[in-house]
Structure formats: C-alpha cells, structure tokens
Structure 1
C-alpha cells in the first residue's frame, strides 16, 4: 500500500493522450494522463469511462452538446456514448476504466495505446 501524489507523478511524463497506470482496484485501472488539443471521436461499447480533472479545463464533446470540466470535477461517460475530449491548454486528468478499455475505443489509429506505462 502506497499513497499517490498527483503533483509528484505528472512531472514524470510529457506525452499527451498516453495514459499511465498509477493503480488497480477490482479490475479497474486508475490512470493519469495529460491532454492537449483534440482527441478522436470514439466510444467504448462495453465500458463506462470516468474523467476527473485535476488541473486545467477539459471539454468533452458529444454529438448534441459539450460539457466543460474544471479542476475537482468529474464526469462518467456511459458505455456506447460517442465522445471527443478537447483540451485547449494542457489538462491533467485521472481516469478510472476497466483494464480492458482501449483509450481510443472503437476508433483505432495513431493515438491508440495498447501497452501502457506504469508510474
């Protein structure tokens, strides 16, 4: 058992849209990620996804609206819902996802990360 301090972990990496595993519980992974610019439209057919903003402002676009998350706010995107994260400036995000969740969901491309680093 170890405590995790996000202000110590985030300076350890600089790449965007590349989640890092920082913990595991009950088949779920806790991940830290830095976001900047626009991600891809995608959905997760079998998994819900939780975005918790630690630093910065994150927009999550849906086909009918956009939700803006500030620090200390989170949103759960239900499985099957198409979405697109957008970060105008660098954002620090904590993600809670099933271990089987692929970061780009049903949209496989250059931003897809299959083997995640651990911090």
Structure 2
C-alpha cells in the first residue's frame, strides 16, 4: 500500500496517447495519459470508461453531442457508446477502467496499447 502522486507520475513522460497504469484495484486500472489532437472514433463493448481531467481541457465527442471537460471534472462513458476524445492543447487525464480495456476499444491502429506500462 503506497500513495500515488499523480502529478509526479505525469511528469515522468512526454509522449501522447499512451496510457500508463499508476494503480490497480478490484480488476480495475487507474491510468494517466497525456493527450493532444483528435483520437480515433471507437467504443468499448463490455467496459465503462471514466475520464477525469487533471490539467487542461478535453472535448469528448459523441455522435449526438459534445461534452467539454475542464480540470477537476469527470465523465463516465457507458459501454457501447461510440466516442472520440479531442484535445486542442495538451491535456493530462486520469482514466479509471477495467484492466481488460483496450485504449482504442473496437479499433486497432498505431495508437493501440495492448499492455500499458506501469509507472
């Protein structure tokens, strides 16, 4: 049992769209990631996904609406919901999701991280 300093973990890397695991509980991963630009449209068949903005702002696009998140705000995307994260400027995000969750969901491309690094 060790405390996690989220800001310190985020300071350890600069690359984008590559989530890192910072903690685990009950089959869930707590991940940190830096984002900039648009991601791929995707969905997760069996997993809900929580986005908590640590620094910056994040736009979550859905086929029928857009949700803007600022630092300190979170949104849970229900399983099966097609979405696309977009960050105009670099944003730092904490993700909470089942360990089985693939970052690109039903899509496989160059941004797919099959086994996230633990930091």
State the partner residue of 1:4: 4
Are 2:45 and 1:45 aligned? yes
List runs of 5+ in structure 1 lacking aligned partners: none
Q: Which residue number in structure 1 is paired with residue 35 of structure 2?
A: 35
- Per the normalisation by structure 2, the TM-score is 0.98
Gaps of 5+ in 2: none
TM-align CA RMSD? 0.5
Q: Give deviations 1:49-92, integer Å, cap 9, x for gaps.
A: 00000000000000011100000000000000000000000100
**Does 2:19 align with 1:19?**
yes
CA distance in 2, matches of 1:80, 1:8: 33
Whole-angstrom CA distance in 1 between matches of 2:40 and 2:7? 27
Higher strand proportion = 2
Is the counterpart of residue 96 in structure 1 residue 105 in structure 2?
no
